Every structure is written in C-alpha cells, then in structure tokens.
C-alpha cells in the first residue's frame, strides 16, 4: 500500500512520517550489531530515544535479473558494515488509481511514498524488486526479550515496512520488554506469478519464511530470545501467518501466532492452474511463447518491472476481463486446498494462537458513494461482507483448531475513534486495530481520547503477556481460551466498546449471526 507525502501533524508532535536519517556515532557500540550476514549500524529513534532502529537489513539475495521469480536465496557470510538508518524500498507494487477508503480517507495505512499521490495509477516510486529486507526495533538495553515478527497486509498486492500507522517505536518505548521485526515480502505478480515455467509459485510466502529463519539465527545479537518468537500478521499477513502453521507444522520456528483479520480458511481467489494469467501478461509484454514456458519466463525476466506492474495494475483498475489474479494458489506444499482435513490429521503446528476481527471489518473494503462520502456505504451489505469474508472465517477456524486440540484466543476490536475513523460509518474497520497495537493512533487528526489511550494500552499489554507466555499469559490476565462449544459460544475479548477499554463477551453475541442465531451488530 502507498501513501502520499507527509503533512504537519495536527497534534503538534515532532513525530513525522518522513524517513529521517541519523548517522550513528562511532562510539555507540550498541547501535552496531554483528550478524552472520554483516554488521549493521542503526540509530536511536528521534522521538523515542530509548528505542534502537535497524531499518534495512537484507535477509536474502536480491530477487532480480536471473533470480526474478525464484525462491529467496540465503546470503553469504559477511563481516562488512552497513548503515541501516534508511527504510528500504517496499517490494514492487502498484498504486491503484481508483478511489478507496485507504487511498482517499486514511492513507496512513499505505507505504510512505514521497510525493506520489495515493491514487497515482502507477507503480509505487518507493518500491523495487530489490526489496527482501527487514527492520528491527529493540530497546536500548535488551537482553533475551520476546520477539514478534510482523507480516503486513495488503491483499497480497501491496504492503511493506515503512507504513506510518504500522511503525512500532512508541510501543517498544512504552514496554521496554519486547522486540518488533517487520519484513518486506514479494507481492502480486512478482510474489505469486503462477507461471508454467516455475517450480515454486508462492514466492511471497517463501520470502516470509526466509525472513523468519534469518531472525531466528541472528536476533539474539539484538537482545532477542530466538526461542521466544511470535509470528504475527494482519489481513494478507494474517492469512500468511496461518499458512505457516500448516506448511511448517513440525518446524514453525515461532512458538505462538497472532492472526488479525484473516486465516487460511479464507477462500483463495486464485484457481488458475493452467497459468493463463501469467501467459496473458507475457503476451502483452511481447513474450508470446504459450507453448514454451522456459522461453516465456526468460523473456519476461528481461521486461522492466515498472512495465509489468503498470500493465497489471492499470488492467485491473479498468475492470477489464478476464480478471487477472496473482495471489497465493494451492500447490499442496506451501498452500493447501483443504485445511480442515490437514488439521484433523494433526498437520498443524501445536502452538497457541490469537485470532481477531474488527467489528465493522468490511466498511473499508466496500464500495462507497464518492459523490457523498459522509453517507457511507450500504450497511446491510457491509454487514454481510464482514460476516462472510472475515468473522465467520475466524469462527470456523476456531472450531477447526478446537477439534485439533489447539489453543485459540479470540478478540474483537470495536473502537470507533474519530482520529482513526474520520467518517463515523467506518467504525472499527479493517486494519483500524493496528493503530492500537502499534500505538500510532495519535499521529494524525489529533491525540484522541482517554478511552482510546487505555484501549491501546490494554491491547498492547495483552499481546505482551501472550508473547512472554503463550500458554498461560492471557489466562492469568482473565482472558480464557476460546471454547466454541462452551456456554453461550465461549468467551471473546472485546476492545474499545461501551466506554470500556476491554471486556469479556460471549461468542454468541459476537458471531452468533454466522449461524443465524443473533442479529449482527457492527457498532457494539
């Protein structure tokens, strides 16, 4: 996702969206960290000086030239020193020219992209093929701390490290008790090409795994505990996180997962097992070799990434048919076609999970009247889309995990705060809970309310307790594991509703509508 250049903050804070660079002093030994793949010198966050930032650390070889559309390759051992004080480009992605909630109303969920308009209709100028990097935020004095590795969302089409609402220094500064890692991974046609000439199609998921392996190998040098890693994702990153629990069920690396808005049970939208989408694009790039997959691929590797991105993006923006889809596809190795069956066989990681949704999830994804934005979309349609596409997927996933004897905790974010939801009809829309997790809710449109602050702190405290002790941490804080067949459908934690930062509510109240037992309330 992409956003336009920064504006002066309404709350007067010195924190900005521009990626500011501060060269570390040579005497700041704690800012230079040695890893197997090199020495990296970071910086102290200018607004939160108790937080070290290492903004750009490569975790795999650049996937360019002959390595385009190949799985991530490990980096060689190195003792070379690099300055990790600037954010890397996000992975190659397109900035849609069509109006949307994220492009037109809350662009803070898009990658920071200089002066490019958030509805540019072009490849993002701050994106690149050479993007397989991660960023680390750690307290200045970190020793053996739990680590959370974050996969950003973006419908497997957009996303990246430098997203204003998803930068964690304020959270790390507040707790001084955990380390956050965010990683880039390839998206859209560069990450999920589905080309006949390739053996591996779900490259973006393999990128995520490569980043996780790098973190496990090197995070101890940053003050993290490699045996206390939590894997966390939102939207496409959330679905990815759940993918990992099946693909690497016997070697997850992480000891717990958090899936915010999306699970592996969300239906795939890519069934192009004949590879027609890639061949269609190749033909329009002058690589017309429909019966010679190797020649098609070799030719496509010589086409500029900008040309490929702009063709696919503009074709999609125009609503042209046949529809082009470059997202995960079932290969029965990394992504599977029947997750309940695999879970029933025990082919799912035996690790605790938090799974969540936002109360008005689909409001950010549903068509709204651009000539009367304040009116908002048709709420019954939003409710139906929230249930079908998001909440009921989580509900069914909870049952699958329960039947497989896997511990699951559930929450619903229901906060409707005007600085995050500037249109009241947005409510607790898709992605809005991230501002609570990261503590970034005050960076635009004012500082917010006391309830908002307390809600954010409560959510952060629960996540930290889970990171520290996935088995018992939440139970000790009064958040029981979810039992879908328990009294009134089990217990779900609700955040930001009824003037209360947090409360326990019944599963029946939250998701009874999935089975026709309750009227769904998107504004509880």
Which pLDDT score, from 0 to 100, does residue 116 have? Answer: 72
Q: Which of 127, 128, 173, 235 is catalytic?
A: 235
Encoded tokens for 396: 């069914």
- C-alpha dihedral over 381, 386, 388, 391, to 10 degrees? -160
Least confident of 25-29, 67-71, 203-207, 288-292: 25-29
Residue 508 lies in a domain: yes
- The DSSP bridge pattern shows strands 179-183 and 133-139 to be antiparallel
- Residue 166: its pLDDT value, please? 97
**What's the CA gap between 327 and 307, in Å, rounded?**
19
Catalytic residue among 53, 108, 116, 361: 361
Q: Is 430 among the residues known to form the active site?
A: yes
Span 95-109, average pLDDT: 90
Instruction: Kindly calculate the radius of gyration of the chain based on its CA atoms and give it in whole angstroms.
Output: 22
- Indicate whether 523 belongs to any domain: no
Look at residues 329, 169, 352 and name the one whose alpha carbon lies nearest to residue 259.
Answer: 352
The number of C-alpha atoms within 13 Å of 244 and in the hemisphere containing its C-beta is: 34
State yes or no: is 361 an active-site residue. yes
pLDDT in tens, 383-420: 999 999 999 999 999 999 999 999 999 999 999 999 99
Question: Has 273 been annotated as catalytic?
Answer: no
In a domain, 15, yes or no: no
Cβ neighbour number for residue 487 with a 10 Å cutoff: 10
Look at residues 140, 133, 335 and name the one whose alpha carbon lies nearest to residue 215: 133
Q: Given a cut of 60, is residue 342 above it in pLDDT?
A: yes
Does residue 236 or residue 7 have the better pLDDT?
Answer: 236
Mean pLDDT of the 451-474 span: 98
Q: Taking phi first (over 0 means left), then psi (-120 to 50 degrees means alpha), and beta for anything else, what does residue 286 get? A: left
Residue of 178, 244, 275, 430 marked catalytic: 430
In this prediction, residue 396 carries a pLDDT of 98
pLDDT surpasses 90 at 29: no
Give the residue-averaged pLDDT of 222-226: 98
b/e per residue, 386-418, with b = 16+ CB within 10 A? Answer: bbebbbbbbbbbbbbbbebebbbbbbbbbbbbe
Write out pLDDT tens, residues 234-285. Answer: 999 999 999 999 999 999 999 999 999 999 999 988 888 899 999 999 999 9
Give the count of domains, the chain: 1
Order of strands across the sheet that contains 81-83 = 32-35, 38-41, 81-83
Residue 435 lies in a domain: yes
Residue 244 makes CB contacts below 8 A (sequence gap 6+) with 205, 208, 209, 212, 231, 252, 254, 257, 349
Give how far Cα 255 sits from Cα of 38, 64, 260, Å: 27, 33, 17
Confirm whether 26 is domain-assigned.
Answer: no
If one compares 21 and 253, the residue with the highest pLDDT of the two is 253
Average pLDDT on 325-349 reads 97
Which of 17, 221, 206 has the alpha carbon at shortest distance from 126? 17
- pLDDT on residue 461: 98
Residue 322: the pLDDT is: 86
Q: Has residue 24 got a pLDDT over 70? A: no
CA distance 198 to 70: 8
Q: Could you give the maximum distance between any two Cα atoms of the chain, in Å?
A: 64
Residue 201: the pLDDT is: 96
140-199 confidence digits (pLDDT tens): 999 999 999 999 999 999 999 999 999 999 999 999 999 999 999 999 999 999 999 999
Query: Hey, what are 357's tokens?
Result: 């949704």
Half-sphere exposure in the Cβ direction for 514 (13 Å, CA): 22
Whether 111 has a pLDDT exceeding 90, the answer reads: no
DSSP three-state, residue 209: helix
C-alpha span between 312 and 94 (Å, rounded): 8
Residue 9 has pLDDT above 60, yes or no: no
Q: Which residue has the higher pLDDT, 116 or 336?
A: 336
Q: Is the pLDDT of residue 17 over 60?
A: no
Q: Are the C-beta atoms of residues 236 and 156 closer than 8 Å to each other?
A: yes
Report residue 368 as tokens: 């709204």
pLDDT (tens digit per residue) in 467-514? 999 999 999 999 999 999 999 999 999 999 999 999 999 999 999 999
pLDDT surpassing 70 at residue 21:
no
Quick one: 72 exposed, middle or buried, by C-beta within 10 A (0-12, 13-18, 19+)? Answer: buried
pTM of the full structure: 0.92
pLDDT at 3 over 70: no
Q: Which tokens in the block code for residue 371? A: 């000539």
pLDDT at 28: 59
- Cα gap 524→521, rounded to integer Å: 6
Query: 438: pLDDT confidence band, cut at 50, 70 and 90?
Result: very high
The proportion of the chain whose per-residue pLDDT surpasses 90, expressed as a percent, equals 85
Domain that includes residue 492, residue range: 37-515
Mean pLDDT of the chain: 93
Task: Flag whether pLDDT at 20 surpasses 60.
Answer: no
CATH code at 471? 3.40.50.1820
Tokens of 167: 């930068």
Is residue 15 predicted with pLDDT exceeding 70? no
Residue 519 binned pLDDT confidence (cut-offs 50, 70, 90):
very high
Decide if 29 is inside a domain: no
């Amino acid at each position: 996702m992409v956003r336009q250049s920064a504006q002066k903050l309404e709350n007067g804070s010195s924190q900005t969206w521009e990626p500011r660079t501060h060269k570390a002093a040579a005497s700041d030994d704690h800012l230079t960290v040695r890893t197997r793949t090199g020495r990296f010198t970071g910086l102290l966050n200018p607004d939160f000086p108790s937080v070290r930032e290492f903004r750009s650390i490569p975790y795999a070889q650049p996937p360019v030239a002959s390595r385009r559309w190949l799985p991530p390759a490990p980096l060689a051992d190195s003792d070379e020193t690099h300055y990790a004080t600037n954010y890397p480009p996000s992975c190659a992605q397109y900035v849609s020219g069509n109006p949307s909630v994220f492009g037109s109303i809350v662009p803070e969920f898009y990658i920071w992209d200089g002066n490019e308009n958030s509805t540019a209709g072009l490849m993002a100028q701050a994106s690149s093929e050479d993007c397989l990097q991660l960023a680390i935020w750690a307290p200045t004095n970190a020793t053996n701390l739990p680590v959370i590795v974050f996969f950003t969302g973006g419908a497997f089409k957009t996303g990246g490290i430098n997203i204003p609402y998803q930068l964690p220094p304020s959270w790390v500064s507040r707790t001084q008790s955990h380390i956050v890692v965010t990683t880039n991974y390839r998206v859209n046609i560069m990450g999920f090409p589905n080309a006949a000439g390739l053996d591996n199609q779900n490259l973006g998921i393999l990128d995520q795994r490569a980043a996780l392996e790098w973190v496990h190998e090197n995070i101890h040098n940053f003050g993290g505990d490699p045996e206390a890693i939590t894997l966390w994702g939102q939207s496409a990153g959330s679905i990815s996180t759940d993918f990992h629990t099946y693909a690497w069920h016997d070697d997850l690396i992480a000891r717990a997962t958090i899936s915010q808005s999306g699970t592996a049970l969300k239906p795939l939208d890519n069934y192009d097992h004949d590879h027609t989408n890639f061949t269609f694009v190749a033909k329009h790039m002058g690589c017309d070799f429909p019966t010679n997959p190797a020649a098609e691929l070799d030719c496509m590797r010589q086409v500029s990434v900008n040309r490929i991105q702009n063709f696919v993006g503009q074709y999609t923006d125009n609503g042209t048919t046949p529809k082009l889809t470059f997202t995960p596809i079932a290969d029965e190795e990394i992504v599977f076609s029947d997750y309940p069956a695999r879970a029933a066989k025990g082919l799912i990681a035996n690790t605790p999970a938090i799974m969540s949704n936002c109360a008005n999830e689909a409001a950010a994804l549903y068509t709204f009247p651009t000539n009367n934005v304040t009116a908002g979309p048709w709420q019954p349609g939003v409710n139906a889309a929230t249930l079908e596409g998001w909440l009921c997927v989580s509900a069914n996933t909870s049952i699958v995990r329960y039947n497989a004897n896997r511990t699951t905790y559930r929450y619903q974010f229901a906060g409707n705060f005007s600085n995050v939801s500037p249109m009241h009809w947005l409510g607790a829309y898709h992605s809005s809970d991230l501002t609570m997790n990261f503590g970034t809710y005050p960076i635009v449109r004012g500082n917010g309310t006391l309830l908002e602050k307390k809600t954010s702190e409560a959510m952060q405290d629960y996540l930290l307790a889970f990171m520290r002790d996935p088995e018992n941490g939440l139970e000790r804080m009064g958040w029981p594991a979810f039992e879908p067949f328990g009294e009134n459908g089990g217990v779900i934690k609700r955040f930001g509703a009824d003037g209360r930062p947090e409360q326990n509510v019944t599963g029946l109240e939250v998701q009874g509508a999935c089975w026709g037992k309750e009227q769904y309330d998107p504004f509880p």
